[in-house]
Amino acid sequence: MRDMERKFKRDIEDILGTFAKNFPGTQLPMLSVMLGVIYLVVVRERLASVKNKVLVLSGKGGLGKSTVSAMLGLTLALDDSKEVGFLDIDICGPSQPRVLGTAEEKVHSSGAGWSPVLCTRNAVSCVVDEDLGTRHPT
């Protein structure tokens, strides 16, 4: 874990600890909701510098959301003047390794974190599988 991540984790634990101390009897679900709100605030702050954001969303599976996301990200990344990133949160069956042709590759982990695998000349990614392992890069 990087120093910033450790500090963030400590800050959240401090906030939740203070809340639990000041409001005894608060149930864990309430603390979980608060933690979720804190994460949303942090994500919003971190994404503030991102000029354009695209959300591919559906309540139904099997429609090709992961494929659309990957192809859109890779197509936009063809323009070397642009910095492009995409995040596919598909906890039910990550298909990005198949989509990007990296299913046989392995993500390497070390004390410094995960090392994603190069997909194209300007795209790297890392998939966390349903068991929260780092089996496949994308």
23-64 residue pLDDT tens: 777 665 666 666 677 777 777 887 888 888 888 888 888 888
CA dist 49 to 20, 27, 115, Å? Answer: 33, 36, 24
Instruction: Pick 122 or 134 by higher pLDDT.
Output: 122
Distance CA 119, CA 74 (A): 10
Place of tokens 């089996």: 135
Place of tokens 């605030």: 41
Q: How many CB atoms lie within 10 A of CB 110?
A: 7
Global confidence as pTM: 0.53
Distance CA 36, CA 12 (A): 10
Q: Where are the chain's structural domains?
A: 3-47, 65-125
Rg value, the chain, Cα? 18
